[in-house]
Amino acid sequence: MSNIHFITAAIVSSWVAGPWYGLNLALYFICVRILLGKWSIHGSRVLFVAATVQICLCTGHLVTMLVQLLQGLPVDEHGVGRLDNAYFRDQITHAHIAEEVFYITNSLVGDAIMIWRVYVVWEKNHMVYSPLLLLFVATGVSACIVMAHMAHLDLLNTQAAVLARWIEATWCLSIATQVLATLLIGFKLIAAARGQRKLGLMQSSLYISTFWVVIESGAGYTITTVLLLSFYVRGLNAGAICAAFLGQLSATAPYLMIVRAETNRQARKRKNRIPLPLYKTYSDGRQSSASFPRTSQGSSEYEIDRMPSVYASSGPHPPKAIQIMVETETQQSP
């Protein structure tokens, strides 16, 4: 695979990060409106803080990229700008170090929100999210070491080899966290979609459902991180483009999760929260025909987050959580 110049990578990175930041800004204001409407819920306040931190990090990431682009295009005495390839090769400029710090921190926040999503979807099952927490802590420690080494780089790059190993370790740990979280979330979402389709509660097509599974599971975020690591290991400058994209995408994925959850909640509200069918299971194993009881208006705002875990537990029969078990020794089949 042919390599591209540092200057080309820097310019394309700015082209990618700029419009994507605009998308993040729009999604942020949508999320703010959603979360402020649920301010009484503790989880909404936590998500609001996380979303605000991420948009600040995205802003800092974009600003440092533009600063590097301007400093790498010096103007001569005739007012003509000339590209300085040596500047973009310099890894110890303050703007470059600041960009990496913004990117790494934003990536950590994105990983944390993916773990929170696993925590919600799997109904606080500590056996599921505990390994992710350990990976996240290890990623955070490795990331702090990377940032400390970057702050002490010199012109001779005497610590470049050590820094490279820590960067690879950080990305590997982050990828492990993201892949595991994506698989866990995707499994629950697919199981939920299958359960709803069996009960006739899902009207969207398979392709649309698959698209939202990819969005909600953070698969795009994970794939981009894998590409970034592969480019870095091979020494390709295209990794700078992935890093610029990932610096913004690490906020886009959590924002879309919040918007998607609210969209589902509003859709269910418009349908007057169609209740799930109830079945009676008799002693001989037969089930009665479905009945649809009325649901209370006081349902939790996070009902949509718990739905996947309800459907995922179902096998060939309706979910156990919505079955009425009638145990009697004398009752005969109808």
The per-residue pLDDT for range 249-289, each reduced to its tens digit, is: 888 888 888 888 788 777 777 765 555 555 555 555 555 55
Question: Which of 85-99, 147-161, 175-189, 225-239 has the lowest average pLDDT?
Answer: 147-161
DSSP state of 281: E
CATH fold label, 6-270? Rhopdopsin 7-helix transmembrane proteins (1.20.1070)
Q: For a pLDDT cut of 90, what percent of the chain falls above it?
A: 19
pLDDT exceeds 90 at position 201: no
pLDDT per residue over 107-152, tens digit each? 899 889 889 888 888 888 889 889 999 999 999 999 999 888 887 7
Cβ proximity of 311 and 192 under 8 Å: yes
In this structure, the number of other CB atoms found within 10 A of the CB of residue 126 comes to 10
pLDDT at 57: 94
Q: Higher confidence at residue 215 or residue 60?
A: 60
pLDDT exceeds 80 at position 313: no
Mean pLDDT of the chain: 75
Mean pLDDT of 94-109: 88
Residue 125, sorted as left (phi over 0), alpha (psi -120 to 50) or beta, turns out to be beta
pLDDT at 5: 75
Burial per residue of 190-220, b for 16 or more beta-carbon CB atoms within 10 angstroms, e otherwise? bbbbebbeebeebeeeeeebeebbebbbbbe
Q: What is the 3-class SS of 69-135, one letter each residue? A: HHHCCCECCCCCECCCHHHHHCCCCHHHHHHHHHHHHHHHHHHHHHHHHHHHHCCCCHHHHHHHHHH
Q: Higher confidence at residue 195 or residue 126?
A: 126
In this structure, the number of other CB atoms found within 10 A of the CB of residue 21 comes to 21
Burial of 49 (0-12, 13-18, 19+ CB in 10 A): exposed
Mean pLDDT of 238-244: 81
Mean pLDDT of 89-105: 83
Mean pLDDT of 203-216: 68
Strand partners, 325: 281
Q: Taking Cα atoms as reference points, which of 143, 111, 139 lies closest to residue 253?
A: 111
pLDDT at 305: 45
pLDDT exceeds 60 at position 324: no
Q: Provide the pLDDT confidence category of residue 332 given band limits of 50, 70 and 90.
A: very low
Question: What is the rounded distance in angstroms from the CA atom of residue 152 to the CA atom of residue 158?
Answer: 10
Q: Higher confidence at residue 257 or residue 34?
A: 34
Cβ proximity of 145 and 159 under 8 Å: no
Tokens of 203: 């009207």
Tokens of 227: 């590409």
Q: Higher confidence at residue 303 or residue 19?
A: 19
Strand partners, 280: 324
| Residue spans per domain, the chain | 6-270, 279-325
Q: Provide the pLDDT confidence category of residue 75 given band limits of 50, 70 and 90.
A: low
pLDDT at 319: 44
Exposure of 142 in the CB half-sphere (CA atoms within 13 A): 21
